[in-house]
């Protein structure tokens, strides 16, 4: 009997997911240091960046940085992508040894380099492959198998109900829905009614994603879709504080500097000084976006050669 608690929103198999926001997988951003920042701000579930199954099978040099996680990041899903069911299955069996809470199959990436070769959202055109992946994995591992999917390839081939039912019928444990098609990319308005339709047609948990940009959007999505949880993607980069239900313009410079310090030090510990400084620039650029900085000041901050120099410059910010 699963424990009932006012703090628990839903279960994925027997794993409780608390009430709160879920961090989406974002390529190039949701690494371990960023996940720990977001966890500290209140995220209740997180994902790794998406990982190519081929890289897992070939033991690519930096693969441990992608697949490893800190215990504090739980519950966490490792997300993988490919266009070949056999490679996905074998890669999933390997990463299952890392003991993630969930193994997530990417059915949502819309980029040319992924969907264009039939992976990510490209797999939505191959329902039989999806059935094979979920059927075999749900039989071979005890770790719950989940997915993040889109509504279909394009406006003329939205097959989200069919795909959702295939996933449920073949052992899938949860579905996160980015309410756009592959063709839409990140343009146009997310079709929240499609999330509501999926939720009404299946019994496993459904997570809503798409156009959750502000704190006020969270309750709107819950009310419109009746989803079990809400997932935040790109908005998390510009405003990590959305996870504690705060608007970006309410954040003081002191709080910003404190977060920047924690984040850069965590990245240095994880990647080493030189690589961390290079990788941190994209986060810093997002953190500084709300401020009307002249070009030279922004350039100076983004090109600091050490974290100490960066923190010193921020003291004068």
Residues taking part in catalysis: 109
Q: Which residues pair with 51 in a beta bridge?
A: 80
CA 196 to chain centre: 21
* CA gap 144, 104 in Å, rounded: 8
Do residues 50 and 79 lie in contact, with contact meaning Cβ atoms separated by under 8 Å?
yes
* CA gap 81, 150 in Å, rounded: 14
148-175 burial: b if 16+ Cβ within 10 Å, else e: bbbbbbeeeebebbebbebbbebbbbbb
Cβ neighbors of 128 (< 8 A, separation 6 or more) are none
Quick check: bond before 75 cis, omega within 30? yes
| Neighbour tally for 2: CB within 10 Å | 11
- Token digits of residue 281: 């620039």
Block residue for tokens 């794993």: 15
Block residue for tokens 């809400």: 230
Cβ neighbors of 234 (< 8 A, separation 6 or more) are 26, 186
- The contacts found for 306-311 with CB under 8 angstroms, 24 or more apart, are 306/273, 306/277, 307/264, 307/265, 307/268, 307/273, 307/276, 307/277, 310/260, 310/264, 310/277, 310/284, 311/257, 311/260, 311/261, 311/264
């Amino acid at each position: 009997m699963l424990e009932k608690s006012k703090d628990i929103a839903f279960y994925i198999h027997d794993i409780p997911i608390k009430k709160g926001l879920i961090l989406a997988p974002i390529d190039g951003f949701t690494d371990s240091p960023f996940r720990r920042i977001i966890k500290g701000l209140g995220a209740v579930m997180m994902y790794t960046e998406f990982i190519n199954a081929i890289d897992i099978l070939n033991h690519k040099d930096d693969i441990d940085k992608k697949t490893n996680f800190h215990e504090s990041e739980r519950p966490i899903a490792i997300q993988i992508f490919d266009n070949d069911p056999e490679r996905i299955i074998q890669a999933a069996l390997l990463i299952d040894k890392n003991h993630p809470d969930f193994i997530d199959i990417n059915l949502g990436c819309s980029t040319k380099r992924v969907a264009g070769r039939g992976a990510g959202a490209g797999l939505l055109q191959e329902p039989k492959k999806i059935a094979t992946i979920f059927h075999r994995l749900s039989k071979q591992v005890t770790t719950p198998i989940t997915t993040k999917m889109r509504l279909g390839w394009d406006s003329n081939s939205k097959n989200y109900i069919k795909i959702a039912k295939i996933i449920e019928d073949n052992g899938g444990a949860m579905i996160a829905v980015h309410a756009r098609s592959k063709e839409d990319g990140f343009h146009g308005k997310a079709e929240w009614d499609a999330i509501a339709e999926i939720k009404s047609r299946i019994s496993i948990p459904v997570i809503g994603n798409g156009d959750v940009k502000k704190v006020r959007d969270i309750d709107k999505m819950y009310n419109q879709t009746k989803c079990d949880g809400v997932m935040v993607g790109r908005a998390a980069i510009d405003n990590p504080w959305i996870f504690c239900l705060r608007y970006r313009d309410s954040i003081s410079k002191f709080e910003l500097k404190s977060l920047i310090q924690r984040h850069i030090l965590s990245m240095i510990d994880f990647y080493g000084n030189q690589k961390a400084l290079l990788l941190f620039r994209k986060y810093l650029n997002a953190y500084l976006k709300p401020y009307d900085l002249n070009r030279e000041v922004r350039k100076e901050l983004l090109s600091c050669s050490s974290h100490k120099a960066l923190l010193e410059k921020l003291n004068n910010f």
